[in-house]
Structure 1
Amino acid sequence: MRTFIAVCLLLVPTIAVAEDTGVSITPDVVYGHKDGLALTFDVFTPKHDAKGIGILFMVSGGWYSHWAPPEQVQGLFKPLTDKGFTVFAVRHGSSPRYGIPDAVSDVRRSVRFIRKNADKYKIDPNRLGVFGMSAGGHLSLMLGTTADEGNPDDKAPVGRFSDRVQAVVAFVAPTDLTIMVKDHPQRLPAYANFPALDLGMKEAESHSPLKYVTPDDAPTLLLAGAKDALVPIDHSRKIQAEFDAKKIPNQLIEYENSGHGFVPEDMQQAVTEMAAWFEKHLAEQ
């Protein structure tokens, strides 16, 4: 379990942590509270040539969300910060204490908070992207498919802001949770190791991005390993078919030699594709 989570969080073995000081790090920004606990993210801001584009990274593997010193994970974001993107590494209420509905609610709040404070972070509130790996990819797709414009009557000011993102990149992402919960007769045995998947069928359906695809969804890039035995590639293929049917800009790139964790050359190419996707869909119009 812990090995799998580590792979999900550190899927870029070919990118070393940067010694360069071209990025300013703001750690542990509090975007909300849950049961007396702080919900936090770290901000990685380019010191030069920042483009005003915000990219959220979902810190999630198996719907566990772990803290690490931001200096140690800075290399994961270097391909993005080098292009002038400001990156927000968002942590959610973690399994096993908190489940998938909590994680979805938390990351939705993080988008609202970042949009509310866009001036502070010197980003355009209408140019936000999100990416994640495995469970983080699932959360990214939930943001891309279930956004709302905020509630103008919400008592909490942050709730009045939209949680909509303008571009999504999802690595090896579960898209249909109904086939991953215990009530499904063909559930893979490995899913019993993930407490967050202890959901009823109706709750699983209500947190499956495959069920929510509509024509106003964000442009989405899907990156998947053809040999993935944990999240089979059909998850990505099925949601791509829905995106195509709804005429949503999308692309699925399948890596024939990779499984749930990409081989180094595939990961390097996938990261390049991710950066290009964000450049294409978040550039100023």
Structure 2
Amino acid sequence: MTMRNRLITTVTAACALAAALTACSAESGGTPARAASPTACPREAAPTAPPHGGGGGTAKGGAVPVAKTVKPTDTRTSTVVEATGPQIRCGRTGLSSHQDIVYAAPVTRGRKTELKLDLQVPEGAGAKPLVVYIPGGGFVLADRKANLAQRTYVAEQGYAVASITYRTSADGATYRDGVADVKSAVRFLRAHADQYGFDAAKVAVWGQSAGGYLAAMAGTTNGDRRFDIGDHLDRSSEVQAVVDEFGASDLARVADDFDAATRKTYNAPGSFINAYVFGPGSRRTVVGDPAARAASDPASHIDARTAPFILLQGDDDRIVSPSQSLILADALKAAGTDATRYVIKGAGHGDMAFLGDPDAGAPWSTRKVMDTITGFLDARLGGAR
């Protein structure tokens, strides 16, 4: 397969994956969003064009990097959550919405990219703690419009929630650029905290899938100035808490729990993982490069400044091996960092409805799971309400 075709394949796969993780409809202008009474936070329909990209399984109409099998995960040091009960509901709180805010304009391989964020801020007196949401997308897409329902729910609990775009391999970027972008967003938002009404001293990152990986990297590199590039360098990029939902950690082992065909696809030169580590066109692999493997692993960066974590992963995740969250949680605990791993029983990799199950994403939008996240934020950011 040519490099161009591989890129098209990966982009198509990530498009569907990002769409599958998207929730609700587009935000409504820049005015407060209200509802007469609480209403369910609906998920958007699953993508009609299935992803295409190798791996052990196939979706209806095309192949995706989805494993045929997944090993049972070790839960002895984790909290198992039965994701039952009511779904989240929106509309209890008025929110001010600010969209298309340019937070950075980095140059990648000679091309400038305007990076934007959308921001939701609860109405009411007092500066709100800030949560920076980092969307998934297979390291190829980063749709800041994604997952609106869950973002809105968190905002309605008393948090300013900023959803960001970051550079991906489609921009010719690597994970170093992605981490730098997250930190640029944190610095920008701190510089504009008074303008938008949030507390610059209380900042968390919350990511899903590829975004979970970048959130983990941001939280474990607190104080590492090598990733602070761009504007507002007089502001801190450190975060006070990390929410990592089904994110990768050791990129050489993302497919460890899967069947042999899926492992081969993930570890191949030019795979979506290797492209985001080494850049487009490289034939190097994380498995074959110990130095690159260590540099791209959040666990390698843990030190006394690392933020507290919660890690959430489904035990039926067939995109990122469930053992990925266990590896990182164990490393955090061994270093004395506060970390709790939650295993969501029966859950997959977010909303994978395009595989034929329209309720695949339901566990992740239950009150039980979302209140686990907001409870952690309340504890670590000093409370929002």
TM bin, normalised by shorter chain, reads 0.7 to 0.9
Query: For residue 190 of structure 2, what is the amino acid of its counterpart?
Result: R
The answer to whether 1:29 aligns with 2:118 is no
**DSSP-derived class of the 1:55 partner:** strand
Does 1 or 2 have the higher relative contact order (CA < 8 Å, sep 6+)? 2
Name 1:265's counterpart in structure 2: 363
Within 5 Å, which residues of 2 pair with 1:182-261?
Answer: 188-191=263-266, 194-198=271-275, 199=278, 200=284, 201=289, 202-261=291-350
Deviates more, 1:140-149 or 1:265-274: 265-274
Relative to structure 1, the CA distance from residue 48 to residue 194 in structure 2 (aligned partners, 3 Å threshold; closer, same or farther) is: farther
Equivalent position to 2:242, from 168, 173, 176: 168
Relative to structure 1, the CA distance from residue 150 to residue 115 in structure 2 (aligned partners, 3 Å threshold; closer, same or farther) is: farther
**DSSP-derived class of the 1:178 partner:** coil
Relative to structure 1, the CA distance from residue 47 to residue 280 in structure 2 (aligned partners, 3 Å threshold; closer, same or farther) is: same
**Structure 2 Cα separation of the partners of residues 180 and 246 of structure 1:** 22
Query: Shift of the alpha carbon at 1:73?
Result: 5.1
Name 2:218's counterpart in structure 1: 143
Query: Shift of the alpha carbon at 1:227?
Result: 1.9
Q: How many residues align?
A: 275
Query: For residue 211 of structure 1, what is the amino acid of its counterpart?
Result: S
**Structure 2 Cα separation of the partners of residues 190 and 86 of structure 1:** 39
**DSSP-derived class of the 2:252 partner:** helix
**Structure 2 Cα separation of the partners of residues 235 and 99 of structure 1:** 20
Alignment TM-score, normalising by the size of structure 1: 0.85
**Structure 1 Cα separation of the partners of residues 320 and 306 of structure 2:** 23
Within 5 Å, which residues of 2 pair with 1:62-101?
Answer: 62-67=138-143, 70=145, 74-97=148-171, 98-101=173-176
Query: For residue 125 of structure 1, what is the amino acid of its counterpart?
Result: A
Query: For residue 242 of structure 1, what is the amino acid of its counterpart?
Result: A
Higher helix share: 1
**Structure 2 Cα separation of the partners of residues 100 and 155 of structure 1:** 14
Long gaps (5+) in structure 1: none
- For 1:70-95, what per-residue CA distance to the aligned partner results, in whole angstroms no more than 9, with x for missing partners? 5x854231221111100000110133
Name 1:8's counterpart in structure 2: 21
The alignment yields a C-alpha RMSD, in angstroms, of 2.9
Query: For residue 46 of structure 1, what is the amino acid of its counterpart?
Result: P
Within 5 Å, which residues of 2 pair with 1:96-135?
Answer: 96-97=170-171, 98-135=173-210
Name 1:46's counterpart in structure 2: 122
Q: Percent identity?
A: 23
**DSSP-derived class of the 1:132 partner:** strand
Relative to structure 1, the CA distance from residue 175 to residue 9 in structure 2 (aligned partners, 3 Å threshold; closer, same or farther) is: farther
C-alpha contact 2:254 2:321 (8 A) present in aligned 1: no
- For 1:94-137, what per-residue CA distance to the aligned partner results, in whole angstroms no more than 9, with x for missing partners? 33222222211111111111112222222221100111111000
Query: For residue 219 of structure 1, what is the amino acid of its counterpart?
Result: P
Name 1:281's counterpart in structure 2: 380
- For 1:53-73, what per-residue CA distance to the aligned partner results, in whole angstroms no more than 9, with x for missing partners? 0000002321233446x5x85
C-alpha contact 2:249 2:324 (8 A) present in aligned 1: yes
C-alpha contact 1:137 1:169 (8 A) present in aligned 2: yes
Relative to structure 1, the CA distance from residue 223 to residue 93 in structure 2 (aligned partners, 3 Å threshold; closer, same or farther) is: same
- For 1:161-197, what per-residue CA distance to the aligned partner results, in whole angstroms no more than 9, with x for missing partners? 211110111011101123359xxxx882343585352
Query: Shift of the alpha carbon at 1:209?
Result: 0.6
**Structure 2 Cα separation of the partners of residues 205 and 10 of structure 1:** 34
Query: For residue 188 of structure 1, what is the amino acid of its counterpart?
Result: R
**Structure 2 Cα separation of the partners of residues 107 and 275 of structure 1:** 21
C-alpha contact 1:147 1:162 (8 A) present in aligned 2: no
Query: Shift of the alpha carbon at 1:225?
Result: 1.2
Relative to structure 1, the CA distance from residue 245 to residue 81 in structure 2 (aligned partners, 3 Å threshold; closer, same or farther) is: same
- For 1:210-248, what per-residue CA distance to the aligned partner results, in whole angstroms no more than 9, with x for missing partners? 211223211100001112222111111111111211221
Greater C-alpha Rg: 2
C-alpha contact 2:211 2:247 (8 A) present in aligned 1: yes
C-alpha contact 1:178 1:208 (8 A) present in aligned 2: no
